[in-house]
Amino acid sequence: MAGLDLLGKAGRDKNQSAYLASEYSFTNSYFDNPQNFRRLNVVGKYHGHVSANTNLTLTGSTFYSKWNHSGQIPDRAVESGEVGFFGSVDPSEGGETSRSNFNAQLVTLTPRNHVIKNQFFYSNYNFELYSNFTFFLEDSLNGDQIRQKERRNLFGYNGSFSTQSNVGSSRWTTTVGVQYRHDLTKGTELSHTKNRSETIDPIQLGNINELNASVYADELIQVSDHFTINAGLRLDFFRNQYQDLLAMTNRLATAAIVSPKLNFYYTFNPRLQLYLNTGKGFHSNDTRGVVPQGGREILPPAYGSDLGVIFKPFPKLLINAAAWYLWLQQEFVYVGDAGVVEPSGRTRRQGLDLSVRYQITHNLYFDLDLNTAKPRAIGELEGQNYLPLAPTFTTVGSLTLQNKSGFSGSLRYRYIGNRPANEDNSIVAKGYLVNDLQVNYSQKRYNLGLSIQNLFDVRWKETQFATNSRLKNETEPVEEIHFTPGTPFFARLSLTFFF
């Protein structure tokens, strides 16, 4: 791998700063089929005053990448020796993508200590992706490769006004705001292709015009030194329009939903706090799935709550533990190779979370996160109600060293347990344990870094799906785990200059 990092900084006073960072990289990665991955990334930021009470922050970035991809491969192809663990069934998969972003934020503090925030944003996003999930299941001669392609412009505005007031002995922080986002896509395409060069037939082709506008109010009430209440209400409105360029139709649908929240916090003392968070949200949907339903049942509500405790038994140890619950009226699953959105019914998730932060010595820190969950479909028979690929146990943790001489580093692990890959748990997505190492040496003018992924070079599967597919030499399809391999041992040395 080759890479270049450049970082520039400039500032005229402590209240004004700017920087520009750029990176170009090229790699063939660890796949048997050379990835030929190219990436260019440029980021710039400016922060300063436009008046005595108003700060302006401008951020701009542009990104481009292009690659070949080995795609998902079925377990049976690896076990039979037809392809290697890092091999490919369809070596012509891959794509390219680019994104340019601009963001401007103004924050004003009025003479009466009101806070006014205004944010404007714009993004231009393009991608062209070639995939093959089922190989020769649908087309035994040409294969099932598909092309997904889109050109998108999105822009919007976020604004809020906050003020504080006292009512008796309590303090009220009131925030009201509006949000607006508009997505315009042109040539949103799904086509059956061959070898990334031949279009066999179009499956979907159209233009999307989607608007999401919302208003909200949030109240934070400091009832006493020990007790705080946070209540909020939000109204979302969606306008979805889809111009089908194959069927030559242009249809529109609208929907709205109200989402309240109510949270309680009780602080017994500086070392112990108990909290209860409750609220309602929603599961949004693809415009191509909204319009055929005329806007009906496309913003299903989601109800959630978590009861937790934050405990600091002594100054260098912090513990956060919580029990949580989430109920969804409807979930949607996007089927990429068919270009359709499928409803999957009501679901329920519940679990426990634990976070630990501990300062072992003056320079050495330890962190640990554990998450357990029991995800189930509602209304299905016991044993047939698993949610495919929903995690049931995950954990991450690290040891981090911070030294004033310039040396720093961390040794991290991440683990995910086995989880069902289909509704009856007859197909299992295997878990993994992976360790990463990061070491840095920083001085005023430069930073030297060593990053090692998968320190112990374990073999693991990063993405896994239970997919029905057929290989070239097979007469009948097989449903089993299809996967993309996780990164093997990989070391990267970087050098960054500041000027």
Q: What integer pLDDT is reported at residue 284 of this predicted model?
A: 79
State mean pLDDT over 67-72. Answer: 91
- List, for residues 112-136, the tens digit of each pLDDT value: 899 999 999 999 999 999 999 999 9
Q: What integer pLDDT is reported at residue 356 of this predicted model?
A: 98
- List, for residues 286-321, the tens digit of each pLDDT value: 888 788 776 667 889 999 999 999 999 999 999 999
What mean pLDDT is reported for the chain? 92
State mean pLDDT over 211-238. Answer: 97
Q: How far apart are CA 413 and CA 304, in angstroms?
A: 29
Out of 4-18, 167-181, 450-464, least confident range = 4-18
Q: What integer pLDDT is reported at residue 330 of this predicted model?
A: 87
Q: What integer pLDDT is reported at residue 54 of this predicted model?
A: 95
Q: What integer pLDDT is reported at residue 8 of this predicted model?
A: 47
Return the CATH number of 2-497, one of 3.40.190.10, 3.90.1300.10, 3.50.50.60, 2.40.170.20: 2.40.170.20
What is the token pair recorded at 443?
């001085």
Q: What integer pLDDT is reported at residue 344 of this predicted model?
A: 79
- List, for residues 92-110, the tens digit of each pLDDT value: 999 999 999 999 999 999 9
- List, for residues 345-383, the tens digit of each pLDDT value: 899 999 999 999 999 999 999 999 999 999 999 999 999
State mean pLDDT over 30-55. Answer: 93
For the whole prediction, is pTM greater than 0.85? yes
Q: What integer pLDDT is reported at residue 336 of this predicted model?
A: 63
The pLDDT of residue 14 is above 80: no
Out of 332-346, 354-368, 415-429, 439-453, least confident range = 332-346
Out of 21-30, 72-81, 183-192, least confident range = 21-30
State mean pLDDT over 271-276. Answer: 98
Residue spans per domain, the chain: 2-497
Q: What integer pLDDT is reported at residue 3 of this predicted model?
A: 43
